Chains A and B, each alone.
Chain A
Amino acid sequence: MTQALPSEAEQDQVMEISMGPQHPSTHGVFRMDIRLDGERVLRLKPVIGYLHRNHEKIAEAASYLAAIPYTDRLDYLCSMTNNWGYALAVEKLAGLTVPERAEYIRVIVSELTRLQNHASVVGFLLQDMGASGTPLMYAFREREKVMDLFESLSGARMMCNYMRFGGVRVDCSAEWLSQAAKVVAGFNGFLDEFERLLTGNEILMARTQGVGVLPRELAINAGVTGPGLRASGVNYDLRKVDSYGVYGRFEFRVPLGEHGDVYDRYMMRVLEMRESLRILEQALRDIPSGPFMDPKARLRGLRPKVGEAYARIESPKGELGFYLISDGSPNPYRYRVRPPSLINLTVLEDMCLGQSIADVVVILGSIDIVLGEVDR
């Protein structure tokens, strides 16, 4: 790496440190090359690639079907939404339709994913801030209930591998739906408890308000998506904009922030969980009976026509896109994941400049990255 060396006077005070890759606050193997003046950040360069396994190359060598379990491992907290993003892209590419019931099941499992992702990210954020354990363990207690639902539906807690092109792998039983309804009903109580525990907390406010401010224009230009973008006051939620699946049928609001600081990003997640609960209540009430797979869809030997498709969904972390090019063979010619975690990291330096090193940890926590997706 070539950098301009600091002047001699500067060298007395300026220190270069390498934070990570084994730092507990980096949520995996992520490194930041930081130049510090005392505690103040002068420069920050993220260094990634420690978890790189060339997911895209693997998927280009595998059949369309065989790539689904690999998408589970991108953002390993949200395998259901990853599955959906990929399935949506293949459905666009091959022109498959999805039956009503499967669309509803997809909405239900995706919103449950959003709940557990947001609950754990808020827990981790507080953990990074020094609230060791308590909020995270409360969040994990709730997350466990969602995981149990996923396990009884798909067979695995985290690597669900649940969606298929043209539907979902197995139907959900009436019993499962009533269990899900019970979890959803209990979640509101947890959110109340969580907010009593945290939202008014003076330490939390002092650590987060006015920290890591992301201006609106920069957020748009740098391609920040998800709660981070909406915390800066940009009304852009793909569930509303694209209304993919059956999202157009549900009544829900898109929470927006004002200041774009860490506190707003924290509040976005809490408020989004409340909206997710509303969607879930409607979806669980309205789910129709019927088939859960497109009868035309074949499991094996999918050979889409020559062409390409880009599909994107609102994953809990932001806009998750899949870009596929087919050359008519059973495996994709080009398979590309647009990882929200990676692109949201673009503005990390801008948010951290001039802040203290302790705030870097909090700002990074508020972006919500998962290294499985950043490095792919």
Chain B
Amino acid sequence: MLGEGIVKGLAETARNFLGSFIEKDRLVTVQYPEERLPVVEAARMFPFLIYDGVDQEEGLRCVACQICEKECPPQCIHIEKSKDKKPDFIGKQQFYPAVFDIDVSVCMSCQICVEVCPFDAIRMDNEFELSTDDRFAGLLWPKEKLAMPNEHYLAIHPTEATEVEARRAEEKAQAEAKKASQPAAVAK
């Protein structure tokens, strides 16, 4: 019969419409910004730099090795290496970035900097409400804006961060054990 298909189709839309009064999962729209979905753990937006402890300058894990700068596909990272060195978490003298800028208007949130970083110094933030009225300076993030405490990392990526913590604790213990055994060797 002509029109049968249309009637069937309309019955389907009616079922969806009326069903939305009864079934909660038919109402899929989330009224952002009043309502918000939880952010998943893997979510990524723009990178941040991790520092240990309370002092941003002192605790910054980045050693300015510039691997991320080289590997970044859109080339949005700019690093200038320091002249002097400072001790890292196991007491080894390392360089630090005198300048570390990320142009977030260029960054494409691909996470490659995170993957290539051998020092667990850069990770992806999940903050996405970042609009600004200054499209030049407001989108070029300096080191001061990028630095975040390790607690922040533990809060947003708990599974991954706990693993990293455990590995770093082990490395530190090994380094200390080595240090402890060295004076003994000298004494011999």
Tell me whether A and B are bound partners. yes
Which single member of B6, B12, B40, B67 contacts A193 (CB below 8 Å)?
A: B12
Query: Distance in Å from the Cβ of A338 to the closest Cβ of chain B?
Result: 21
Q: Does A66 contact B (CB under 8 A)?
A: yes
Q: Could you say which residues of chain B place their CB within 8 Å of the CB of A155?
A: 40, 42-44, 111, 124
A65: chain B residues at CB < 8 Å are 71, 112, 116
Beta-carbon contact of A156 and B73 below 8 Å = no
The answer to whether A200 touches B4, judged by C-beta atoms less than 8 angstroms apart, is yes
CA distance A62 to B67 in the complex (A): 14
Inter-chain contact B8/A200, CB cutoff 8 Å: yes
Please tell me the size bucket of the interface on B: 20 to 34
Q: Do residues B5 and A202 form an inter-chain contact, with CB atoms below 8 A? A: yes
Report the bound CA distance from A299 to B73 in whole Å: 14
State whether the Cβ of B72 lies closer than 8 Å to any Cβ in chain A.
Answer: yes
Q: Contacting B28 at CB < 8 Å: which of A66, A141, A156, A203?
A: A141
A67 touching B73, Cβ below 8 Å: yes
Contact with A along B1-30 (1 / 0, CB 8 A): 011111011011100100000000000100
Q: Judge if B169 is at the interface, Cβ distance under 8 Å.
A: no
| B110 close to chain A: CB less than 8 A | yes
Whether a CB of chain A sits under 8 angstroms from the CB of B99 is: no
Would you give the shortest CB distance from B157 to chain A, in whole angstroms? 10
Q: In angstroms, how far is the closest chain A Cβ from the Cβ of B23? A: 13
Contact A152 B42 (CB under 8 A): yes
Given A65-B112, A155-B43, A203 and B6 contact (CB-CB distance below 8 Å)? yes
Bound-state CA distance A197–B9 (Å) is 4
Contact across chains for B3 and A202 when beta carbons are under 8 A apart: yes
For B43, give its contact among A151, A196, A199, A300 (CB under 8 Å).
Answer: A151
Nearest-CB residue, chain B, relative to A152: B40
Judged by a CB distance under 8 angstroms, whether A69 is at the interface is: yes
Question: Which 8 pairs across A and B sit closest by C-beta, in order of nearness?
Answer: A200-B5, A69-B110, A66-B73, A155-B44, A155-B42, A201-B5, A197-B12, A197-B9
16 A-B interface contacts by CB (under 8 A): A65-B71, A66-B71, A67-B73, A69-B73, A69-B112, A70-B73, A72-B110, A138-B16, A141-B28, A151-B40, A155-B40, A155-B42, A156-B109, A161-B111, A196-B9, A198-B9
Interface positions of A (Cβ within 8 A of B): 62-63, 65-70, 72-73, 134, 138, 141, 144, 148, 151-156, 159, 161, 169-170, 193, 196-205, 299-300
